[in-house]
Structure 1
Amino acid sequence: MNRKLTMPLTKEAAAELRAGDYVTISGIIYTARDAAHKRMIEALEAGEELPISIEGTVLYYMGPSPARDGRPIGSAGPTTASRMDKYAPKLLDLGLSGMIAKGKRNQEVKDAIVRNKGVYFAAVGGAGALLSQKIKKAEIVAYEDLGAEAIRKLTVEDFPVIVVIDAEGNDLYETAIKEYQSL
């Protein structure tokens, strides 16, 4: 099914999504990769607040290339999600609604998605230049010293993703394999 979402992502909207749905996202999302995730968890462990409000937020696991003249951002393709698996359950428990990346997630992340009624989306790897065209504004909001891995606030318009793991725990990577094998 094709769906349009406007951020922030509510639990009710996430609950309506199904693994395999094609979705376009509009509104504000944030980028965060390995180093930013590590810093956020360290901040929480030190009793500090996160640099962004996580409630209802979607994190895009991406580190952009430099922007060309006249563009808000360079190539903006997804990075592999599994590198954030050790951090994602904690953020989901704090209200994170969704993540965008590529690749499989471990069982702890799947359990946290179900427990918190979240969602995991995939963006197409190798299509970073095309995806960047859907990003209308980008600004660094935290950890500027991390360069490409700094947390960025992105304003996106009709950003294309696919639901991989839905709020019920259905995993497109698993169901697609089973469907293919039955053919």
Structure 2
Amino acid sequence: MEVRLTTPLRKEDVENLRPGDNVLISGTIYAARDAAHKKLMERLDRGEELPFDIQGAVIYYVGPTPTREGEVIGSAGPTTSLRMDAYTPRLLDLGLMGMIGKGKRNDEVKRKMTEHGAVYFAAIGGAGALIKKRILSQETIAYEELGPEAIRKLEVKDFPVTVIIDSKGKDLYEIGRDEYLNWKREER
């Protein structure tokens, strides 16, 4: 099933999504990797506000390559989401509704996602040159000193992702593995 979503996301926008659903996201998403996430936690520890509105936000785990002349952004493929797992539960508690990356998430992240009705999407690894075509504009909004890992505000149109973990905690990686193991048992 293909679904179109516009940010910021609300629980009712994502509650019917299921693992394997293809989604096209339009609106604002934020690019941030592990170094930026660490700085966000330090900011929160000091009692400061985040540099963007986290309510209903989607964070894309990406550190784009340098932008060539005449282009909006460099190649923008996803990075491994596990690197953000230490920071994600706190952001989910504050209202984060979606994350885009690649790879598995830990049990604490999945528990918090279920508690808050959030969703984890995957972008296609190795397709950064194609993905960047869905990014209409970018603006560095925090931690410019981090270079490619700075927090960026990205305006996107029909940004293609797949639901990996839905708001109820169902995980495509586990579902797919279980189906494969059942198929292998039946073959014997």
Q: TM-score, normalised by structure 1?
A: 0.98
**Secondary structure of residue in 1 paired with 2:161:** strand
Q: Hey, what's the Cα distance between the residues in 1 that align with 2:5 and 2:128?
A: 21
Equivalent in the alignment of 2:99? 99
Q: Hey, what's the Cα distance between the residues in 2 that align with 1:89 and 1:15?
A: 19
Equivalent in the alignment of 1:35? 35
Equivalent in the alignment of 1:132? 132
Identity %: 60
Give, as a single letter, the amino acid of the residue that structure 2 aligns with 1:160: P
Q: How does 1:31-110 map to 2 (within 5 A)?
A: 31-110=31-110
Q: Hey, what's the Cα distance between the residues in 1 that align with 2:24 and 2:17?
A: 12
Aligned length: 183
Give, as a single letter, the amino acid of the residue that structure 2 aligns with 1:52: F
Equivalent in the alignment of 1:20? 20
Q: Hey, what's the Cα distance between the residues in 2 that align with 1:43 and 1:139?
A: 20
**Deviation of 1:101 (Å):** 0.2
Deviations 1:90-141 (Å, cap 9, x if unpaired)? 0000000010000000000000100000000000000000000110101101
Give, as a single letter, the amino acid of the residue that structure 2 aligns with 1:125: G
**Deviation of 1:69 (Å):** 1.6
**Deviation of 1:170 (Å):** 0.1
- What's the RMSD between the two structures over aligned residues? 0.7
Following superposition, which runs of at least 4 residues in structure 1 exceed 3 angstroms of deviation? Answer: none
